[in-house]
Structure 1
Amino acid sequence: MPKKVVPEAERRRRRPTRQGIVLSEKLIVQTALRMLREHGSAGLTARRLGSALGADPSTLYRYFAGLDDLTRAIGEELMGRALDRWTVTGKWRADLHALGLAIHASYLAHPQAALLTASRVTGRPREIEVDETILGILRGAGFGDVDAVGIYHAFIDLALAFAALDAGALAIKDEAREADEEMWTSTYARLPAESHPHIAATAHLLADRMNLSAYPVVLDTLLDRAETRLGSVRNDGKGRTA
């Protein structure tokens, strides 16, 4: 049975750790992010986290029901950071474009954490705030509920899928990543036109593009389709002229 999580107000009244640190949920999450960056997901254990905080590992269970609960809090933190760096303009497409890029960038800033959390649904307040914001933008723009949910689904899954994909490349060792990136010039660019005419014809373009994330391009494609759909809905409402 998971241990009882102590309310935040009670946590704040606890004494500092032996390192003089006053524990909080936010501090634990920030320390976990640092440990993930330095050691990867295998290095995130209650024992190591407690050691880094100067606290007994069991103390962590006053703040989180377990490491899975901590994982959700890490995912929420990345979502929250994306929302904090985003500025609303009131133009639905520009706002969604900027928010999508902010989510992608927030996760890529912590590749190991992205791999651990991108597929999770946290159900925590800041993630819910992001979801409410996206749906509010879409409904405010004039999308019906069915369309709004469909676009929201594609939008958030796209951001998180590319976050995980791109984080995977960043999370591997530098020499392995560099070897992968050089493959476009060391191997693909040298394939003969006789056997691989299409790759040979586009090799210079592949070398220029394939080491970059395709997320911005695919995000624009999704928003193009959404914009077309919205225009169709508006025209239907004016006498079905679409």
Structure 2
Amino acid sequence: MTGRRRWSTEEILESAAELLRASDAEAFSVRKLAAALGTDSSSLYRHFRNKTELLRAVADRILLAAMDGYRPEGDWKQRVMALALRLRETFGDQPQLAAVWGRYASGGTGARLVMEEVLQALRSSGLPDEEVPVRYHRLVVLLAALLASEGGIGTITPKEYEEGMEQFRVAVLGADPERFPALAHFARDVRPLGADRRTAFEEILAAHLARIEAQIP
């Protein structure tokens, strides 16, 4: 009788990433992953102690992929922006995992590479050393929020998008000017959340970097 196949850690993570492309962290479970691999949950717990540890490892694979081949260029703001856009592009291929990273974070090699580059960039900006960790934290919180927002938009189907756009048009263009005077006034210029995301992403991040720059002695 042949034994049950032994799955490698990398194969487990790849299968988990595939499941997460079609669902989210709440719906994901070790039991579902085991079923997809044709094994039992106990065999996966030899690799990961729990679901959270597994999700962190899956998110870290995205960070590793983003950092693969990365070379810092330009000044500190250009480095941070280039890294952010690189993360955006990589998570764009697996949008569900952006929310996973924002929620569960990661302590793996990919996370350390991202942390190292952001900290080095901030340190090279001229900020005092005691300010760098604080600015790093605020910057990464913003970046995680932007990426999670991008991920949420990226998982919407064309049908869901059209339904949302119709609701947006009804809610905005049909706004009662007595109750919503500002909304009625700007109705034809207000844009839905899904519009022009790339420019919004870059402008929000650039504004935060400018705020950091203003505090450099």
What percentage of aligned pairs have identical amino acids? 26
Q: Which 4+ stretches in 1 moved above 6 angstroms?
A: none
Partner of 2:202: 216
Partner in structure 2 of residue 7 of structure 1: none
Name which of 41, 48, 52 aligns with 2:36: 52
Query: Could you say which structure has the greater relative contact order, defined with CA pairs below 8 angstroms and 6 or more residues apart?
Result: 2
Structure 1 regions of 5+ residues with no counterpart?
1-14, 234-242
If you compute each CA radius of gyration, which structure gives the higher value, 1 or 2?
A: 1
The question of 1:116 aligning with 2:100 is answered yes
Matched residue type, 2:169:
T
* Contact preservation (8 Å) 1:104, 1:160: no
Unaligned runs of 5+ in 2: none
**1:43 Cα offset (Å):** 4.7
Change in CA separation of 1:126 and 1:193 when aligned onto 2, cut-off 3 Å: same
Q: Using structure 1 for the length normalisation, give the TM-score.
A: 0.75
Instruction: Choose from 169, 176, 190 the match for 1:185.
Output: 169
CA gap of 1:102–1:205, structure 2 versus 1, over 3 A, is farther
- The secondary structure found in structure 2 opposite 1:145 is coil
**Aligned counterpart for 2:211 among listed residues 191, 205, 225:** 225
The AA in structure 2 aligned to 1:143 is L
SS in 2 for 1:41: coil
CA distance in 2, matches of 1:17, 1:85: 37
2:121 match = 137
2: distance between equivalents of 1:161 and 1:120? Answer: 13
Alignment length, in residue pairs?
213
Distance 1:116 1:128, change over 3 A: same
Q: TM-score scaled by structure 2? A: 0.82
Q: CA deviation at 1:111?
A: 3.0
Counterparts of 1:93 and 1:142 in 2: how far apart (Å)? 12
- Matching residue's letter, 1:98: A
Q: Distance in 2 between matches of 1:72 and 1:82?
A: 15
Higher mean displacement: 189-198 or 94-103: 189-198
Partner of 2:190: 206
Q: Write the letter of the residue equivalent to 1:222.
A: H
